[in-house]
Amino acid sequence: MRLAYFFIVVLHLFFWRANPSQAQVDRSKLPKAGPPPEVKLDEYEKIVLKNGLTLILVENHKLPRVTFSLFFANPPIPETDKVGLSSITGELLRNGTKKMAKEELDEAIDFMGASLATSASGIYGQTLSKHTAKLLELIADVMLTPAFPQEAFDKIIKQRYSSLQAAKNHPNRIANRVADVLVYGKNHPYSEIVTEESLNAITLEDCKTYHETFFRPTHAYLAVVGDIQKNKIKRLVKRYFGQWKKALLPNFEYETPTQPPTNKVAFVDRPHAVQSVIKVVYPLQLKPTSTDLIAAKLLNQILGSASGRLYMNLREQHGFTYGAYSHITDSPYIGKFSASAAVRNEIADSAVAEILLEMKKIVHDKVGNDELQLAKNQMIGNFINSLEAPEMLASLAIHMDRFGLPKNYYKNYPSEINAITLDAIQQAAKKYIYPDNAYLLVVGRGEGLADKLREFGAITYFDEDGNALQ
């Protein structure tokens, strides 16, 4: 046995020395980047029906499967004293039609081995290609002639009450609600908060009116992706959706949020909390058509991903948290920056200081070549992996058409990512990272902590719904 082991060791040493290149690999350096992967995206065809519905067709015969994505590209819609109305209306759509009770609808979907989900933004469905016509007929029935049963409405309202009660004791949910109020202001649709009062104000008739007003083809996209025959789909869509009446949406006006002139400290006191949830947030003017959007996304990959600077600082270096992340969100209306972490109450002020420090460093100092290359590799890899999902292909096609992007935009995406330079990253940092013009929100136990936070500015106290306290 020992003799056999001896020969194995000798053979291992022989082959190791016979391949000296293996011994000379410097594992402290990232390997040189190869050429960007080729992205194979099927071309989409666009047809606009007379009623305004935009049909997007992507033909792909790899699998006998078809997905439908009906999406409403509506602007932010204020719900004022009935916050939660759009979400409840979207959920109600799945509870039967004038032709089929919910149980019959469920049975029909199960029989096909299909899926069908509804929301305030539209409908998503998937099935085998042999059931394409039937599922499309069901989607049209659900969207155009929903039953709106009273018992389903009552059940949803009851569930929302329970969810609301749970959210009141969940620090992360509290932080998200208050952060949106800080970023967008009280009078913006993005900051509206579901409350017991708003749920009490919503009626079934309100849901029917919302459906009639905002679920219209004028601002709707229907993307059909998969094993399809385009001419057949065109005929089916015209048959099932051609009578959908178009209507103009109401016009809404609201102020454009801006960053605060100096850092503002916001505090929600949770007397029994053992941890503090921290959020550094502010609004951003970053649109899907911005020429530096990819640079901004790469910048955030470096700063706030699972291998980013915030994570390495707050978790790996200081042991403050299990994770620290940031997000840069683009929007045709108003975007947002958010950096967040959950830490022990006693070191929350130190965590805030480290977040601001990393934000300042990435603005004033160029990132390194290896750091940028790692971020590029991660971003390209995530993108390539996402293309496996049919719903992603539908989303990309809708996105390109909605914002007037060239049809080769995502085919060239990896190459565009690889083309971003160190200078472009720093320019994006100077444009989108504001360590001195942010809302510093902490949800935690005030005793012993609030005084420490005063070094960052005067403190304003808020309740769980984002209302400023006296």
252: in domain: no
Structure tokens given for 437: 């013009």
Residue of 355, 337, 367 whose CA lies nearest to 431: 337
Instruction: Give per-residue pLDDT as tens, 431-444.
Output: 999 999 999 999 99
pLDDT at site 320? 97
Residue 279 belongs to a domain with what CATH number? 3.30.830.10
Same domain, 85 and 183: yes
Same domain, 173 and 118: yes
407: in domain: yes
Instruction: Give per-residue pLDDT as tens, 139-150.
Output: 999 999 999 999
Q: Taking a C-beta distance cutoff of 8 angstroms, is the pair 361, 354 a contact?
A: no
Same domain, 187 and 279: no
The rounded mean pLDDT for the chain is 91
Alpha helices (H) along 305-347: 309-311
Same domain, 196 and 271: no
- Quote the percentage of the chain above a pLDDT of 90: 83
Same domain, 277 and 237: no
For the chain, what is the domain count? 2
Same domain, 114 and 165: yes
Q: Which contiguous run of DSSP H or E holds residue 441?
A: strand 439-444
Backbone angles phi, psi at 275, to 5 degrees: -130, 160
Instruction: Give per-residue pLDDT as tens, 353-364.
Output: 999 999 999 999
Higher local confidence (pLDDT), 35 or 226: 226
Same domain, 319 and 204: no
Q: Is 325's pLDDT higher than 70?
A: yes
Q: Taking a C-beta distance cutoff of 8 angstroms, is the pair 217, 246 a contact?
A: yes
Q: Is 26's pLDDT higher than 60?
A: no
65: in domain: yes
- Mean predicted confidence (pLDDT) in 390-419: 94
Same domain, 299 and 423: yes
Q: Is 251's pLDDT higher than 70?
A: yes
Q: Is 93's pLDDT higher than 60?
A: yes
Higher local confidence (pLDDT), 37 or 16: 37
Same domain, 237 and 271: no
Same domain, 192 and 300: no
pLDDT at site 451? 87
Give the residue from 241, 275, 294 where a domain finishes. Answer: 241
Same domain, 294 and 433: yes
Q: Is 303's pLDDT higher than 50?
A: yes
pLDDT at site 12? 40
- Mean predicted confidence (pLDDT) in 279-297: 98
pLDDT at site 30? 52
Q: What is the secondary structure of 25-59 as a DSSP string?
A: --TTSPPPP-PPPPP----EEEEE-TTSPEEEEEE
Same domain, 210 and 322: no
Tell me how far CA of residue 170 lies from CA of 173, 176, 267, 367, in angstroms: 5, 10, 15, 36
Q: How far apart are CA 315 and CA 358, in angstroms?
A: 13
Angle at CA of residue 192, ends 187 and 197, nearest 5°? 110
Instruction: Give per-residue pLDDT as tens, 34-53.
Output: 566 777 777 899 999 999 99
Which domain, by its residues, includes 189? 44-241
First CA to last CA distance, the chain: 81
pLDDT at site 42? 79
Q: Is 113's pLDDT higher than 80?
A: yes
pLDDT at site 15? 34
